Homo-oligomer: A and B are copies of this chain.
Amino acid sequence: MSNLDSIFRDLVIANRILATEEVVDAYGHVSIRHPDNPNHFLIARSLAPDLVTADDIVELGLDGQPVGNEKRTLYLERFVHAAIFEARPEVTAVVHAHAEDILPFGIADATRLRPVIHSGSFVGSEVPVWDIADNFGDTNLLVTNMEQGRDLAKCLGGNNVALMRGHGFAAAGRSLIEVVRMSVYLPRNARALLRAKQLGGRIRYLSQGEIDARNRGYSPYSTETWRAWEYWANKAGVGDLLSRPEA
């Protein structure tokens, strides 16, 4: 049995960090696969991430439906998470958000979002853009059923991040800490690339070899990774919830 208390606390921390770092506002959500049952995942009920506490976390199946007798209102777009967990067994945590500075890259088609800064490397060398209109025509742009979620997951493929046209992004990580970090640095990478384009000339993107080298060195509980998680949690006012696994 896993320590569920600690996982609930981590998920609360993740919610608060994403709000404080302005990756989410009232909308956007983060989930983690259930440690004891890979066919379930944990996510908040329909509530702004900045207000989420452990009591607000619900357990859903890979069809996006609640497990047990859950009656509270759920996020309309929980199918983003369900479909990615279904398609990608190695994925442990998912974020869906509308972070403002990635939006232009899903709207304009002349510049693809790619890593230009080392902290953006975990985004990976391919960031596909999913347009819900391609297969579903005129919608409210929200991913509100498994069919739409699976279409998004298919577009994401084996990548870490997909942009969603006129809407936001979905990110998949090997750990909760990784996906939160990726979500915080994704907009920063987007801003750096936008401004580099404004300065003009040749853009020096990270090479595939650099992206691979950084990826190989990644560990969710290394001192370097923990440093950011600890910093962001304290900045978000939930430093007291931190618990670090023994190395």
Contact = CB atoms under 8 A, between A and B. Distances in A.
A233 B235 CA distance: 18
A210 B118 contact: no
The complex is assembled from copies of this chain, and their number is: 4
B107 A212 contact: no
A217 B121 CA distance: 38
Interface residues of A, number: 70
A245 interface: no
A140 B165 contact: no
A207 B228 CA distance: 40
27 contacts: A27-B119, A46-B224, A48-B227, A48-B234, A50-B231, A51-B231, A51-B234, A98-B118, A98-B119, A100-B192, A101-B195, A105-B199, A107-B196, A107-B203, A107-B204, A108-B197, A108-B203, A108-B204, A109-B202, A110-B199, A116-B166, A118-B140, A118-B167, A133-B210, A138-B210, A139-B210, A141-B210
